[in-house]
């Protein structure tokens, strides 16, 4: 009995504590124009390889995919410049080891292949997160690790594009780079969506034509029957 009471008390305390942690509400996501046009995807890829890949991988994406997906459409030379010594069919992995990551950030940065799809808000979440680093009003969390879109507001990733928002011109650049990389990660999370949209269009046209053919057929078959 005593044990049951104790575990009950423990349960109440724990749920109270998680309640307190989660009481720090995340802000509603910003609206952003995620676009999957080639220029935006290329810019986003650039931000990814220049900045994010220092810590994050895309384990479902190979260097070759950057050529094969015509939406990105890099040529061989550009891919070779990006991949360095990595084989063409290698996955896009960060050079940061898990041990080093744990030592520096206390955690391993998650793989970003399907991150845009996994989070509520998708691309808008990534965009909001990247532009959501602020000064903690309560002063407990260091600048660069306080993010109003991250649950609990304390994020182990220090503001990766923080070097961009010092003046108004940089602020615009920050938004543009955040939008581009959020678009790129949205594409990476579901690279076949454009293809599916095109196929979907042809399926519709095919069905309309088929309906018309059946209608003609029905007319032909019934034309012999006296009304």
Query: Considering the complex, what minimum distance in angstroms separates the CB of residue 53 from ligand HEC?
Result: 8
Q: Judged by CB under 6 A, does residue 56 bind ligand HEC?
A: yes
The answer to whether 61 and 113 are in contact (CB under 8 A) is yes
Site pattern 150..169 for ligand HEC (x: CB under 6 A): -----xxx--xx--------
Phi-psi region of 68 (alpha: psi -120 to 50; beta: other; left: phi over 0): alpha
The answer to whether 110 and 60 are in contact (CB under 8 A) is no
Separation of alpha carbons 179 and 124, rounded Å: 9
**Region near ligand HEC per CB under 6 A, out of 35-43, 53-61, 202-210, 215-223:** 53-61
Query: Considering the complex, what minimum distance in angstroms separates the CB of residue 92 from ligand HEC?
Result: 13
The answer to whether 161 and 130 are in contact (CB under 8 A) is yes
From the list 61, 79, 181, 86, the residue with the least C-alpha distance to 125 is 181
The answer to whether 65 and 90 are in contact (CB under 8 A) is no
State which of residues 72, 74, 115, 188 lies at the interface with ligand HEC (CB under 6 A). Answer: 115
Q: Judged by CB under 6 A, does residue 29 bind ligand HEC?
A: no
Question: Measured from the CB atom, is 88 or 96 closer to ligand HEC?
Answer: 96
Q: Which residues bind ligand HEC (CB under 6 A)?
A: 47, 51-52, 54-56, 105, 107, 109-110, 112, 115, 119, 126, 129-130, 155-157, 160-161, 181
């Amino acid at each position: 009995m005593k044990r049951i009471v104790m575990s009950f008390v423990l349960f109440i305390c724990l749920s109270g504590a998680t309640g307190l942690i989660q009481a720090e509400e995340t802000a509603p996501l910003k609206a952003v124009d995620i676009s999957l046009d080639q220029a935006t995807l290329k810019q986003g890829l650039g931000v990814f390889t220049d900045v994010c890949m220092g810590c994050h991988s895309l384990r479902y994406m190979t260097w070759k995919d950057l050529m094969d997906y015509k939406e990105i459409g890099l040529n061989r030379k550009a891919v070779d410049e990006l991949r360095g010594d990595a084989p063409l069919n290698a996955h896009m992995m960060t050079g940061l080891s898990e041990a080093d990551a744990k030592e520096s950030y206390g955690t391993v940065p998650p793989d970003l292949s399907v991150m845009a799809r996994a989070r509520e808000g998708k691309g808008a979440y990534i965009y909001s997160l990247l532009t959501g680093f602020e000064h903690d009003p309560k002063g407990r969390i260091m600048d660069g690790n306080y993010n109003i879109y991250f649950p609990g507001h304390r994020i182990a990733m220090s503001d990766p594009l923080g070097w961009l928002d010092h003046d108004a011109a940089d602020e615009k650049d920050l938004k543009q780079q955040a939008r581009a990389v959020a678009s790129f990660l949205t594409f990476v999370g579901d690279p076949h969506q454009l293809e599916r949209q095109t196929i979907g269009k042809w399926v519709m046209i095919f069905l309309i034509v088929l309906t018309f053919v059946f209608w003609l057929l029905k007319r032909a078959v019934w034309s012999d029957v006296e009304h």
